[in-house]
Chains A and B, each alone.
Chain A
Amino acid sequence: MSAVRRSPVRGAAPFIIGIGLLWLAVIVLLPLGMVFAEAFRKGVEGFLKAFDEPDAWAAVRLTLLVAAISVPLNALFGLAAAWCVTRYEFRGKALLTTLIDLPFSISPVISGLVWVLLFGSAGWFAPLLDALGIRIIFTVTGLVLATILVTLPFVARELIPLMQQQGADEELAAVTLGAGPWAIFSKITLPNVRWALLYGVLLCNARAMGEFGAVSVVSGHIRGLTNTLPLHVEILYNEYDFVGAFATATVLAGLALITLLIKSLLEWRFADELAATRRH
């Protein structure tokens, strides 16, 4: 990994690096800078005004709540699915792998709409839910369901190729050394996939907090109740409160940056171990 490969074309490096940096600047940094510039267009005061509203804080709390529920559930599902797919042979395995990928290929709007068609007031299960007095659409439950569906593949997709490549030999070795199922999982399987799991969880989290389409369909946009951050941004923007919209967007960007920061800190903290185990 540490070997430096010299390009056969002399002097090409600065050129190629330049193009890469320029591209990043235009596609990533410019919009990000734009968010902050717009947010502070009316100064710090204008920026802070966006957070005077209790609805904004409700949106922040709701976004964190939805992510806090859906991300762990999808992490558990991802681990279980990756375990199944890579450790067992069974009928319908190919179908399962395809199904795991499905949420990537369908539009998020559809991922929201299916829940309305199932649990909405005219949905399949409407009579049953009415009888039980349970509401799903236009509630936090609906938001969580839509978010889980959209972010379902992230963890599994990170884990499956890695676990496939690692194989089951280490787990079998642990079996012969007398380890029970829990010891095997906690001491062998989990440590071996922890970086992939972490990446998967971070990606899943970023998407869960940022999801707009699916959430928009099931939310009902009830201020202070079912408005997540992205939806709140849209509402403010539609009301021509540009500074408010961008100020709120900086919170989303901030959450994403914190996620990245955590990842980098962890990589830095465990750099030696990473280097040692990756070379395998």
Chain B
Amino acid sequence: MPLTIKNLSKSFRGFTALRNVDLEVGDGEFLALLGPSGSGKTTLLRIMAGLEQPEAGSVTFDGEDFLAQTPRERRVGLVFQHYALFRHMTVADNIAFGLNVRPGKDRPSKSAIRERVAELLRLVQLEDLGKRYPAQLSGGQRQRVALARALAIQPRLLLLDEPFGALDAKVRRELRRWLRHIHDETGVTTVFVTHDQEEALDLADRVAILKDGHIEQVDTPLDLYQHPSSAFVHDFLGGAVHLPAKVQDGVLTVDGWTTDAPEDAPAGGVILAVRGEDLILSEQGITASIVTLSPRGPRTRIGIEIEGQALDLERPAHDPLSKLSVGQTVRVRPDLIHLFKS
């Protein structure tokens, strides 16, 4: 694996930002760091970029000790959440910056730099805007300039910090697809930080889920969804309720309802994690009360409450659940059972 992170720890004034983080990123991989705010994902990204130094652990890239290298030696492209474009430079000068500041012998000729800038402007589809200043661009355009600027130094590793965080929903979806396209075209190993699970699952080859400075699970989007390793991961990838349950002699008991426990289920007190889409209306099951019901044409959004925990479901209009009424108490049962040790 080109990028290998081992046992990384970092704290700020007594606050532990990262503890014992291990992570490997493959050549040309597109990896997402996903977690709630304060989970340490941005700190991890900044350590990769060389803007922070960890207290313990190692970061190597193709066998080189990254931590001993200056940001210049690392050749890492970083795209900031708020772009951090140089406001007093034109778009073209922004993109050329990384090449212009190279020491004399490594610096490409003026015409080579001009050519490279033109090439990157084409790549990010801003051919005609080279002479503009950042303040004259829209948010999405600024983001693309920031990406072109980071790509100009031909980075071995591209890092993006909440790349779509400051954009509106429509632009965000467009840029998301476009970013994946750029990645596939350039083939550069890419790590991006996000707190939006949909974005991470939609875009990345693999997703690393962080919680309290620790990596909970790293897997492909499908595996994460189907085989979450903890209740936290299960919940983070789609709203869920967590119910105290018990497993004894292969039988799962929850809220007075019993069913066969899965074969690999832990014994004793467990947590049953249930997502909205796993629930079906049933004679036997967990007690749920209908709190809200809003028909939206072909689909109906149903707000239910199970043991005081709220959960939103979306069902086709002809689904039996869509035909209930507010205030009703029913029984539901999960057709997919995720159990975690409590």
Contact = CB atoms under 8 A, between A and B. Distances in A.
A277 B94 CA distance: 14
Contacts of A20: none
Interface in A148-162: none
Interface in A173-198: 173-180, 183, 187-188, 191-192
B101 to A, nearest CB: 4
A176 B71 contact: yes
B78 A173 contact: yes
A276 to B, nearest CB: 4
Nearest to B132: A276
A165 to B, nearest CB: 12
Contacts of B102: 178
A175 B82 CA distance: 16
A175 B88 contact: no
Given A276-B136, A279-B135, A280-B135, A175 B98 contact: no
Contact of B101 (A169, A180, A273, A280): A180
Contacts of A183: 101
B136 A176 contact: no
* Category for how many chain B residues contact A: 20 to 34
B195 interface: no
A241 interface: no
B72 interface: yes
Contact of A276 (B51, B101, B135): B135
A175 B97 CA distance: 11
Given A173-B80, A279-B135, A280-B135, A192 B88 contact: yes
Nearest to B102: A178
Contacts, number: 73
A280 B150 CA distance: 21
Central interface residue in B75, B84, B152, B153, by most chain A CB within 10 Å: B84
Contacts of B98: 177-179
Given A169-B82, A170-B87, A280-B87, A177 B135 contact: no
B139 to A, nearest CB: 12
Interface residues of A, number: 22
B40 interface: no
Nearest to A177: B98
A175 B84 contact: no
Contacts of B85: 170, 173
B50 A188 contact: no
Contacts of B133: 273, 276-277
A277 B88 contact: yes
A191 B86 CA distance: 10
Interface string B148-192: 011011000000000000000000000000000000000000000
Contact of A273 (B71, B88, B134): B88
Contacts of A179: 72, 97-98, 101
A177 B50 contact: no
B77 interface: yes
B87 A172 contact: no
Interface string B105-131: 000000000000000000000000000
Which 10 pairs across A and B sit closest by C-beta, in order of nearness? A178-B72, A177-B98, A169-B84, A276-B133, A173-B84, A279-B135, A179-B101, A176-B78, A280-B135, A191-B88
Given A176-B49, A177-B149, A192-B88, 6 more contacts: A173-B80, A173-B149, A174-B86, A178-B71, A179-B98, A187-B86
Interface of A: 169-170, 172-180, 183, 187-188, 191-192, 273, 276-280
